């Protein structure tokens, strides 16, 4: 009996020591576990994790189950937050086109544009050159002078007279949808777009882009042979007209005296995507009802192809997305495991969110912030991890959002060893990733990334190119910041940092902004919501408020983000415009000077 007691005295401490060290193994971010996560999420079997696809769903299951195994609980329901996404646009069976009793074949002779409405029109066609109505200081070109397009089809050449020049002044006005908006504003009831042989010798049709919003009139892309039949009574052909316009640089428009009958139908195929939402309850009774959110999107570009966002759009192949963003998800999972197995790590509750639909326009994070299931005012901060797998030899880690809360910059700097990791800091909270959705709700944000690379948005973003040792290095300062944010007794004070101006080609071309952050996800129909209104900028000075829904600019309708960008591109610095907004169900007109 005595011997047994002596043995126990020796063995029990050893067992306890073994248990302690085995538990500590959970507390480490390891190369092996990071690689296992990324290998699976970026594997061929998940086929690029396109939002709403089977691979996207498998990724969501994997992430939820991993978090559950660490002790995280479902934030709501089964740990998923479901929302609808567009899987693709297809031309419906109702598309038709006929000229002079000749019926043309869809996909072969014509096809609708993605931004076409589902409607029809029987009317005369008018040729309007390149469809320009430009009245700038250095460039003037009006294809609509002297012609009547009201309630008619307008036949327009695509592109511009300088397709061989990368810096042409025509570029800001040459987009297909922009030309349709110009024609619509001038009374056209439908638009026919055709490619000249100089612009496109093959006369090919492009795939439908699922990110396009309707322009509210029928819009058809027609082959040159079809356009020539429409022009038959005039004795002119598209090839000759394109050559004339390019050489003379003067508008040449006319009535075709031909009636065109057309109908367009775009079908939007929808799928269900899922955010993963899991919570680890806080350890402190006074702070557990406050939250720290750690987020990373898991969707990617699927098999790529035209309109997918791939930088190799002609290649149909698995876009693995190892760095973008299996790396961010794996980092989130490893940090979550470390937090869950480290006592005293989180007085506040930790919410791990993994988003789908980021590549489609921050759809998942936008959906969560609109339907959070928690009181967002109780969120201390949101940390976003996106592309953290390619730490370079310079050992530079980029962190945005350090200006979004008092003391953020000092905190981030003090928790990092510059002998190991060099930091590049930016104050701005708004950027091309999911933290923007939370910044728009007045939540302090930090966005961690190791930066872009040549494999970005290509099939070459594979797991074997990830710097796993580098990921372990950067996990240490990130974890220290998480601990600080999860345990500090004082809640952060939000601060606006950096421009909230809208992004988009039409706005950038002239630098005209209202000073808002628009709702890119299109949560509001028949208008564009201002998710942020920056103090001191034109919108704020003119009385616009956060949450206002812009319905028109200078009397011209705004139904979506694309309409808004086009309208803004028509204005000049110093111009005063009337902005109609819907505020709490009431229309309000604001006079705003740009």
Residue pLDDT tens, the chain, 594 long: 445 455 444 444 434 434 443 444 447 999 999 999 999 999 999 999 999 999 999 999 999 999 999 999 999 899 999 999 998 899 999 999 999 999 999 999 999 999 999 999 999 999 999 999 999 889 999 999 999 999 999 999 999 999 988 889 999 999 999 999 999 999 999 999 999 999 999 999 988 887 788 999 999 999 999 999 999 999 999 999 999 999 999 999 999 999 999 999 999 999 999 999 999 999 999 999 999 999 999 999 999 988 788 999 889 999 999 999 999 999 999 999 999 999 999 999 999 999 999 999 899 999 999 999 999 999 999 999 999 999 999 999 999 999 999 999 999 999 999 999 999 999 999 888 999 999 999 999 999 999 989 999 999 999 999 999 999 999 999 999 999 999 999 999 999 986 443 333 233 344 588 988 888 777 788 999 998 888 888 999 999 999 999 999 999 999 999 999 999 988 988 889 999 999 999 999 999 999
Which pLDDT value is given to residue 431?
A: 87
- Encoded tokens for 415: 């928790």
**Distance, CA of 383 to CA of 446 (rounded, Å):** 5
Residues 6+ apart with CB under 8 A from 550: 527, 528, 529, 530, 558, 564, 579, 580, 581
Q: pTM for this structure?
A: 0.81
- Averaged confidence pLDDT in the chain: 92
Length of the chain counted residue by residue = 594
Burial class (CB in 10 A: 0-12, 13-18, 19+), 60: buried
**Distance, CA of 276 to CA of 273 (rounded, Å):** 10
How many contiguous H segments (helices) and E segments (strands) does the chain have?
14, 25
Using the 8-state DSSP alphabet, how is residue 509 labeled?
T
* C-beta separation of 194 from 156 below 8 A: yes
CA dihedral 182, 183, 185, 190 (to 10 degrees): -140
**Distance, CA of 168 to CA of 160 (rounded, Å):** 9
> For 349-495, where are the E strands, in sequence order?
349-355, 379-385, 396-400, 422-426, 445-449
* 3-state secondary structure (DSSP) of residue 260: strand
Which pLDDT value is given to residue 5?
A: 52
- Encoded tokens for 326: 């299996």
Rg (CA), the chain: 28
List domains and CATH numbers for the chain: 29-86+270-487 (3.40.630.10), 93-264 (3.50.30.30), 505-593 (2.30.42.10)
- CA atoms within 13 A of residue 156's CA, in its CB half-sphere: 33
Which pLDDT value is given to residue 491?
A: 97
**Distance, CA of 585 to CA of 123 (rounded, Å):** 38
**Distance, CA of 261 to CA of 121 (rounded, Å):** 6
**Distance, CA of 228 to CA of 9 (rounded, Å):** 98
Which pLDDT value is given to residue 295?
A: 98
* C-beta separation of 332 from 354 below 8 A: yes
* 3-state secondary structure (DSSP) of residue 553: strand
Angle between helices 2-26 and 328-340 (to 10 degrees): 150
């Amino acid at each position: 009996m005595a011997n047994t007691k002596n043995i126990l005295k020796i063995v029990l401490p050893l067992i306890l020591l073994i248990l302690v060290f085995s538990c500590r193994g959970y507390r480490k971010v390891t190369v092996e576990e990071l690689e296992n996560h990324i290998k699976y999420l970026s594997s061929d079997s998940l086929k690029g994790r396109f939002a709403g696809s089977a691979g996207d769903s498998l990724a969501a299951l994997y992430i939820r189950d991993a978090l559950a195994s660490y002790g995280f609980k479902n934030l709501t329901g089964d740990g998923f937050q479901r929302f609808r996404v567009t899987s693709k646009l297809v031309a419906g069976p109702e598309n038709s086109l006929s000229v002079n009793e000749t019926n043309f074949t869809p996909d072969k002779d014509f096809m609708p544009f993605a931004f076409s409405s589902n409607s029809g029109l029987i009317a005369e066609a008018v040729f309007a050159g390149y469809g320009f109505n430009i009245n700038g200081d250095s460039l003037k070109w009006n294809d609509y002078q002297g012609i009547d397009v009201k309630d008619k089809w307008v036949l327009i050449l695509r592109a511009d007279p300088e397709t061989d020049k990368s810096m042409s002044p025509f570029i800001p006005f040459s987009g297909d949808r922009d030309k349709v908006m110009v024609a619509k504003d001038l009374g056209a009831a439908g638009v026919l777009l055709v490619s000249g042989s100089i612009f496109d010798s093959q006369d090919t049709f492009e795939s439908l882009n699922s990110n396009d919003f309707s322009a509210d009139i029928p819009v058809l892309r027609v082959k040159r042979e079809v356009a020539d039949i429409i022009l038959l009574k005039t004795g002119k052909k598209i090839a000759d007209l394109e050559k004339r316009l390019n050489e003379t640089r003067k508008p040449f428009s006319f009535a075709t005296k031909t009636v065109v009958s057309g109908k367009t139908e775009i079908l939007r195929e929808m799928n269900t995507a899922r955010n993963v939402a899991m919570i680890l309850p806080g350890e402190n009774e006074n702070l557990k009802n406050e939250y720290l959110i750690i987020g990373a999107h898991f969707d990617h570009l699927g098999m790529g192809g035209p309109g997918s966002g791939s930088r190799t759009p002609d290649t149909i192949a698995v876009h693995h997305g190892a760095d973008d963003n299996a790396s961010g998800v794996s980092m989130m999972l490893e940090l979550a495991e470390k937090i869950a197995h480290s006592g005293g790590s989180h007085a506040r509750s930790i919410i791990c969110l993994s988003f789908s639909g980021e590549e489609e326009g921050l759809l998942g994070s936008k959906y969560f912030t609109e339907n959070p299931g928690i009181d967002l005012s109780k969120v201390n901060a949101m940390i976003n991890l996106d592309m953290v797998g390619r730490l370079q030899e310079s050992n530079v880690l980029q962190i945005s959002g350090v200006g979004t809360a008092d003391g953020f910059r000092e905190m981030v700097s003090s928790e990092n060893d510059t002998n190991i990791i060099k930091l590049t800091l930016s104050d701005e909270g708004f950027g091309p990733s999911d933290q923007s959705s939370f910044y728009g709700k007045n939540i302090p944000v930090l966005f961690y990334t190791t930066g872009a690379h040549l494999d970005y948005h290509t099939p070459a973003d594979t797991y074997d190119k990830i710097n796993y040792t580098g990921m372990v290095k950067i996990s240490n300062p990130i974890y220290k910041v998480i601990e600080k944010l999860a345990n500090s007794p004082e809640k952060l004070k939000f601060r606006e940092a950096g421009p909230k101006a809208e992004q988009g080609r039409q706005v950038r071309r002239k630098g005209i902004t209202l000073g808002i952050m628009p709702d890119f996800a299109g949560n509001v129909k028949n208008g564009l919501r201002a998710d942020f209104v920056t103090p001191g900028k034109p919108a704020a000075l003119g009385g616009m408020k956060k949450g206002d829904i812009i319905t028109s600019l200078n009397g011209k309708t705004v139904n979506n983000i694309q309409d808004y960008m086009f309208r803004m591109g028509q204005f000049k610095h110093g111009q005063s415009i009337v902005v109609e907004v819907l505020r709490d169900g009431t229309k309000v007109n604001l006079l705003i000077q740009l």
